[in-house]
Amino acid sequence: MSLKICVAQLNYCVADMPGNAQKIIDAARAAYQDGARLVLTPEMAICGYAAEDLFLRPSFISACDDAVNRVARELAGLKGLTVVVGTPTRGDVGKAVRTKSVEVQQRHNSARVIREGGIIASYAKHELPNYQVFDERRYFTPGQGSCVFQAGEGSDAIRVGLLICEDAWFEEPPRLAQEAGAELLVVINASPFHVGKGGERELRMRETCLATGLPLVYAHLVGGQDEVVFEGNSFALQADGLLAGRAESFKENLFVVQVESAQGAIKLVANSSPKRSNEADLWDALVLGVRDYLGKNGFPGAILGLSGGIDSALVLAIAVDALGPERVRTVMMPSPYTADISWIDARDMAERMKVRYDEISIVPEFNAFKASLAGEFKGLAGDTTEENIQARIRGVFLMALSNKFGSIVLTTGNKSEMATGYCTLYGDMAGGFAVIKDLLKTTVFALARWRNENDPYGTGSCPIPERIITRPPSAELRADQTDQDSLPAYEVLDAILSRYMENDQSVESIVAAGFERAVVERVARLIRINEYKRRQAPVGIRVTHRSFGKDWRYPITSKFGA
Cis status, amide bond into 8, omega within 30 of 0: no
Q: How far is CA 362 from the centre of its chain?
A: 35
State how far the Cα of 279 lies from the Cα of 137, in Å rounded to an integer.
33
Classify residue 364 by its DSSP letter.
H
Could you tell me the CA-to-CA distances from 32 to 3, 313, 338, 428 in Å, in that order? 12, 46, 61, 51
State how far the Cα of 537 lies from the Cα of 525, in Å rounded to an integer.
19
Q: Which amino acid, one-letter code, is at 38?
A: L
Instruction: Assign 3-state DSSP to the chain and report helix, strand, coil percentages, each to 5.
Output: 40, 20, 40
- Phi, psi of 182, rounded to the nearest 5 degrees: -65, 140
State how far the Cα of 410 lies from the Cα of 330, in Å rounded to an integer.
10
- Those residues whose C-beta lies under 8 Å from the C-beta of residue 522, and which sit 6 or more positions away, are 488
Could you tell me the CA-to-CA distances from 251 to 119, 218, 382, 458, 504 in Å, in that order? 30, 16, 51, 16, 34
State how far the Cα of 301 lies from the Cα of 316, in Å rounded to an integer.
12
State how far the Cα of 165 lies from the Cα of 188, in Å rounded to an integer.
6
State how far the Cα of 135 lies from the Cα of 506, in Å rounded to an integer.
26
165 is catalytic: yes
Closest CA to 290 of 194, 234, 223, 354: 223
209 is catalytic: no
State how far the Cα of 173 lies from the Cα of 191, in Å rounded to an integer.
18
State how far the Cα of 429 lies from the Cα of 424, in Å rounded to an integer.
6
Q: Name the active-site residue from 4, 6, 23, 43.
A: 43
State how far the Cα of 146 lies from the Cα of 143, in Å rounded to an integer.
9
Report yes or no: 224 and 435 within 8 Å, Cβ to Cβ: no
Q: Name the active-site residue from 125, 415, 437, 533.
A: 125
43 is catalytic: yes
Q: How far is CA 282 from the centre of its chain?
A: 10
State how far the Cα of 81 lies from the Cα of 187, in Å rounded to an integer.
18
State how far the Cα of 239 lies from the Cα of 5, in Å rounded to an integer.
16
Report yes or no: 118 and 72 within 8 Å, Cβ to Cβ: yes
SS3 37: coil
Q: Name the active-site residue from 165, 365, 533, 550.
A: 165
State how far the Cα of 392 lies from the Cα of 401, in Å rounded to an integer.
14
Report yes or no: 314 and 442 within 8 Å, Cβ to Cβ: no
Active-site positions?
Answer: 43, 125, 165
